Structure 1
Amino acid sequence: MTYSDSRSKLDSATIDEENNVFNVEGVKVYYGGLLALLDVYLKIPAKQIIAFIGPSGCGKSTLLRCFNRMNDLIPGAKVEGRLNYRDRNIYDPKINSVKLRRQVGMVFQRPNPFPKSIYENISFGPRANGYKGNVDELVEDSLRRAAIWDEVKDKLKEKGTALSGGQQQRLCIARAIAMKPDVLLMDEPCSALDPISSRQVEELCLELKQQYTIIMVTHNMQQASRVADFTAFFNTEIDEHGKRRGKLVEFNPTAQMFSSPQTKEAEDYISGRFG
């Protein structure tokens, strides 16, 4: 589906209309009064991996941050339009953004474990939010789900920052899982990792989508083709004032996006003509 017909065609048979986690309706993002991301219409299906691809500066991460209102933390940022999560507009003033981020967790580009023990990295968030269950079981379950338990089970008291880069990223995924989220946002989670660690994270994502919806920004098109069920292609354009802004060009099942893209822009990007 191309951007121009996204409003009418994103309800195609490829997406279960009754099982959308997010419904993005005409979202625009401004930084300091400048339009950074043009109207986006997009539906995110549950328990799928959705990849955002496109050249630098095209709005991928900007949109990703909208899903749990991380843009609220950026001075001068403003979001317009409607972004429904489970049929509620998350930009409604009544929505508690802190509670939203418990349900919509985020894993960042570079691993950022707390300067605490591996155990405390996992247990800190749930305890701070009043978790009443068995913390030991929660820590083990989260580390198992993140496919790192066997590597760290004998050193839970050691600092998370002492782990390798790939292990740190899986620790951060385990930390996000411990909060029992519904959605995981991943902003280029493998860009700082070696190929082996990247592959481990990809395999982990394929396991996690059985329980979570995953939205991933990636510059690696091979990664998108390997793990994503749906792919959204973003690009930039120049406005009448000579300012660059991002836009959603096309959103389709990944197999279709990479075999027969519907737009010349997507075809040129995927074939390596630019980007």
Structure 2
Amino acid sequence: MTQNDNKSKPSNGTLTQARTVFDVEGLKVYYSGFLALLDVYIKIPEQQIVAFIGPSGCGKSTLLRCFNRMNDLIPGAKVEGRLNYRDRNIYDPKINSVKLRRQVGMVFQRPNPFPKSIYENIAFGPRSNGYKGNLDELVEDSLRRAAIWDEVKDKLKGKGTALSGGQQQRLCIARAIAMKPDVLLMDEPCSALDPISTRQVEELCLELKQQYTIIMVTHNMQQASRVADWTAFFNTEIDEHGKRRGKLVEFNPTVQLFSSPNTREAEEYISGRFG
């Protein structure tokens, strides 16, 4: 599936063989009246890792925040177009954005554990949302799924903020998993981590896609090539007022995008001619 013309709906290609989680049609994002992201059409397949790559300011994180309506929290932000989550438009006024964020979890660029114990980092969200099951079991299961249980099982009462950077990020992933989401959004989850911690998070993502759909923003093309099943390349263009706005240029299986991209822009970015 190639996105050569952002003003026309692209064909689905082989994506029709997988169930679609998100179907984005003609999405535009404005910040205080400025069109920041232009006419996005993209389908996100279920239980796959999708990477967003491209230079700074091209709209990767802007689009990522649309999937759980985090842009609602930015003054002056406005979203137009249609963004269907499992066949329902999440920007329909009837949609509860708080409930949506339970289904579409978020892991941020820098680890942000709560200033609480490791145990409470996991238990706090489910308890606050009326979880009726066994919290001890939920905490252990979430930490196991995030591949950090063996490192913290003997210090669950210790502060989450006392862990290393890589451990904190996996703790934050466990915290998101504890809410039983359907999708995990990751905004440059490894940019603040050392190479060993980065490898651990990447390996974790490959395991988690067995249960979750993962959408990841990354500036690291090697990371996209290692973990993503599909990769979307974004770029910028100059509008009639001389301002830069983001656009989706191409969306293809990762192997195809990196070996034989269908657009010159993607080829030049991947080859290092700009960005």
Indicate the TM-score class for this superposition, using the shorter chain for normalisation: over 0.9
2:39 aligns with 39
Deviation, 1:259, is: 0.1
- Contact 2:6-2:40 at 8 Å conserved across structures: no
Supply the distance in 1 between the matched residues of 2:44 and 2:8 (Cα, whole angstroms). Answer: 14
Q: Deviations over 1:73-116 (max 9, x none)?
A: 00000000000001000000000000000000000000000000
CA distance in 2 between partners of 1:196 and 1:202 (Å): 10
Query: 1:13 Cα shift?
Result: 2.0
Residues 149/10 of structure 1: CA separation in 2 closer, same or farther (3 Å cut): farther
Alpha-carbon distance between aligned partners in 1 of 2:273 and 2:22, rounded to the nearest angstrom:
32
Report the residue type matching 1:221 in the other structure.
M
- Distance in 2 of aligned mates of 1:201 and 1:253: 21
**Quick one: which amino acid aligns to residue 64 of structure 1?**
L
SS of aligned partner of 1:3:
coil
Tell me the distance in 2 between the aligned counterparts of 1:2 and 1:134. 46
Q: Report if aligned partners of 1:186, 1:215 keep a CA contact under 8 Å in 2.
A: yes
Residue by residue over 1:195-221, the C-alpha shift from the partner in whole angstroms, topping out at 9 and shown as x without a partner, is 000000000000000000000000000
Q: How many residue pairs were aligned? A: 274
For the aligned residue pairs, the C-alpha RMSD in angstroms reads 1.0
- Please identify runs of 4+ aligned residues in structure 1 that moved more than 4 A: 5-8
Aligned residue for 2:114?
Answer: 114
For residues 5 and 192 of structure 1, the distance between their equivalents in structure 2, rounded to whole angstroms, comes to: 32
Checking the alignment, whether the CA contact within 8 Å between 1:218 and 1:224 is kept in structure 2 is: yes
Post-superposition offset of 1:11: 1.2
Q: Partner residue of 2:166?
A: 166
- Which position in structure 2 is the counterpart of 1:16? 17
* Residues in 1 aligned to 2:62 and 2:120: alpha-carbon distance in whole angstroms: 30
Which blocks of at least 5 consecutive residues in structure 2 are unaligned?
none
For the 8 Å contact 1:6–1:42, the answer to whether it is kept is: no
Does structure 1 conserve the Cα–Cα contact (< 8 Å) formed by 2:10 and 2:41? no
Normalised by the size of structure 1, how large is the TM-score?
0.98
Within-5 A mapping of 1:1-275:
1-4=2-5, 7-16=8-17, 19-275=19-275
Say if 2:9 and 2:41, in contact at 8 Å, map to a contact too: no
CA-CA distance at 1:140 after TM superposition:
0.1
Contact 1:14 1:253 in 2 (8 A): no
One-letter amino acid of the counterpart of residue 16, structure 1: Q
**Contact persistence 2:29–2:35 (CA under 8 A):** yes
Aligned AA for 1:3? Answer: N
